Amino acid sequence: MDHSRSSRTTLSTLSDKPEKQTSEPDEAELAALGLPPDASPELVRQLTRIGPPPDGGLTAWLVVLSTFLVLFCIFGMVTSFGQLQSYYLTNQLAAYSKSDVAWIGSTQSTLTFLGSIAAGRYFDAHGPRLLVIAGTALSIGALIGLAFCTEYYQILLAHLLFGLSGTLTYSPATAISGHWFLRRRATAVGVVVCGAGAGGVVYPLLMRALFARLSFRDAILSIAALNLVLMLPACVWMKARLPPRSPPPLRALRAPWREAPYTFLVVGSAVYMLNVFSPYFNAPVLAANLLPANMEGYAVALLQAGSFVGRAAAGVLADALGVWVVFGGTSFASAVVLFAFWTGASGTAVGVLGLVCYGIVSGAWFTLVAAACATISPVDEIGMRLGMLWTLVGPPILAGPVVCGVLITADGGRFNSAGLFCGATMLLAAFLMPGPKMWGAVRRCWRRETDAETAV
């Protein structure tokens, strides 16, 4: 009896050993889960249990659709401020200068990104639902308040509240695709940020039509109702794939800054964002100098139409050619377009090309900056890293359009000096953002050549 029991125990123990000896996942298996080689064992176990991103399916595409609609509403208003600025300067704020009114748009744009680090950390830990619900409620409240504003401080406050709603929704909206997509991540992000481009096309035309037929109050209330209908689905469909967890300690915020690709990406993005919205806010200036009077009101819509095309095409091209290749190209092309079409240009065709081409390259950049950040980030830190990026690029947005407003005034209402200023900053950014990636590629090529010579 005792002998048979001990034999069974020995056999049981031996049979258990293979089950306990589990091999560590290799780099290919980690990459399939969207993890870097140095991912923590706890995170590897968690994502191994959940499985890799599905790269499609009804739930994943409903997430993409709902984030598309959120950015359609939020950035449709933010990037259409040029249309509102023209209205304010001839109505409620006729006594104020262009640079005074530009502060409103700059401050709103800054707030849209400034709180992203907090929103990103919350998203990584708890998912997007409460952020989206709060952002939706705040954006609708801000628009309802704006409808009844008549004084400068009232309009400024309403736009600040709308910018705050953007900061609650933008970081989760651009990060959540990284949870659901890996192989087609750039395409998914491209579809999401197309919402901002599509909103930028529709909202200026919508405002132009509504202001011609309705009072300012009724026009803005109509837009608030539209936004409510379009943003409500996100409160249900936007969901995280990863389970809730405790937020990482604050000291975890220091780790990404030890990585050169991330640091250069953030610094270069801050330089690029200094003036990314300046052409949008001042599109009517270029239109007044180059386009016929009956086309001036469509300047912002032309920019946004180009932005939609750029956002839609950039993700597909990045998945085919590589995110960093296309990202670096669009950054450089932004400077080329500004130098070529926005400084000393003349003629209707040049004006239309300048508006559409800048829309294309800037729209592509907005698509690819999130995808580029995701390629150098662990999947459980995408929200935090994007949040830090958007937070730090916020303050430069505050200064760029205001400086351009001063340069336009000093230049007699033309965009020549402002165009040179915008182009120079974007050219600098084009070298900063992909700098470590480019240097790494050069070093690899040099090492291969050296190895080949040694072998010979």
- For residue 85, the domain's CATH number is 1.20.1250.20
Q: Give per-residue pLDDT as tens, 31-89.
A: 555 555 555 566 666 656 666 777 778 888 899 999 999 999 998 888 788 788 888 99
Query: Would you say 260 and 436 are in contact if contact means Cβ atoms under 8 Å apart?
Result: yes
| Domain with 287 in it | 53-240+255-455
Is 418 domain-assigned?
A: yes
pLDDT of residue 46: 60
Residue 349 in any domain: the answer is: yes
> For residues 398 and 53, what is the distance between their CA atoms, to the nearest angstrom?
37
Provide the 10 A C-beta neighbour count for residue 61: 16
Is residue 81 one of the residues assigned to a domain? yes
Distances (CA, A) of 227 to 142, 153, 192, 336, 421: 11, 24, 17, 36, 35
Tokens 């080949």 locate to 452
CB 100 within 8 A of CB 209: no
Q: Select from 375, 401, 69, 404 the least CA-distant residue to 237.
A: 69
| CB distance 234 to 69 below 8 Å | yes
Smallest CA-to-CA distance from 233 within 317, 132, 328 is with 132
| Within a domain: 36 | no
SS3 track for the chain: CHHHHHHHHHHHHHHHHHHHCCCCCCHHHHHHCCCCCCCCHHHHHHHHHHCCCCCCCHHHHHHHHHHHHHHHHHHHHHCCHHHHHHHHHHCCCCCCCHHHHHHHHHHHHHHHHHCHHHHHHHHHHHCCHHHHHHHHHHHHHHHHHHHCCCCHHHHHHHHHHHHHHHHHHHHHHHHCHHHHCCCCHHHHHHHHHHHHHHHHHHHHHHHHHHHHHCCHHHHHHHHHHHHHHHHHHHHHHCCCCCCCCCCCCHHHHHHHHHCHHHHHHHHHHHHHHCCCCHHHHCHHHHHHHHCCHHHHHHHHHHHHHHHHHHHHHHHHHHHHHCHHHHHHHHHHHHHHHHHHHCCCCCCHHHHHHHHHHHHHHHHHHHHHHHHHHHHCCCHHHHHHHHHHHHHHHHHHHHHHHHHHHHHHHHCCCCCHHHHHHHHHHHHHHHHHCCHHHHHHHHHHHHHHHHHHHHHC
Contacts of 171 (CB under 8 A, 6+ apart): 116, 119, 120, 123, 383, 386, 387, 390
- Tell me, what's the pLDDT at 270? 92
Let me know if residue 365 belongs to a domain. yes
User: Residue ranges of the chain with pLDDT lower than 70?
Assistant: 1-51, 248, 294, 296-297, 344-345, 439-444, 447-456
pLDDT given at position 450: 66
Residue 343 makes CB contacts below 8 A (sequence gap 6+) with 415, 416, 419, 420, 423
Residue 9 lies in a domain: no
Closest CA to 205 of 85, 331, 309, 83: 83
pTM value > 0.85? no
Structural domain total, the chain: 1
Over residues 433-445, the pLDDT tens digits come to: 887 777 666 666 7
Encoded tokens for 428: 């600098």
CA 401, 403, 406, 409 torsion-angle sign: negative
What pLDDT, on the 0 to 100 scale, is given for residue 418?
86
Contacts of 32 (CB under 8 A, 6+ apart): 52, 182
Residue 32 resides in a domain: no
Q: What is the CA radius of gyration of the chain?
A: 25
CB count within 10 Å of CB 22 equals 9
- Asked, for residue 12, whether it belongs to a domain, the answer is no
Cα-to-chain-centroid distance, residue 451: 41
CA 51 to chain centre: 27
Q: What's the distance, CA 3 to chain centroid?
A: 70
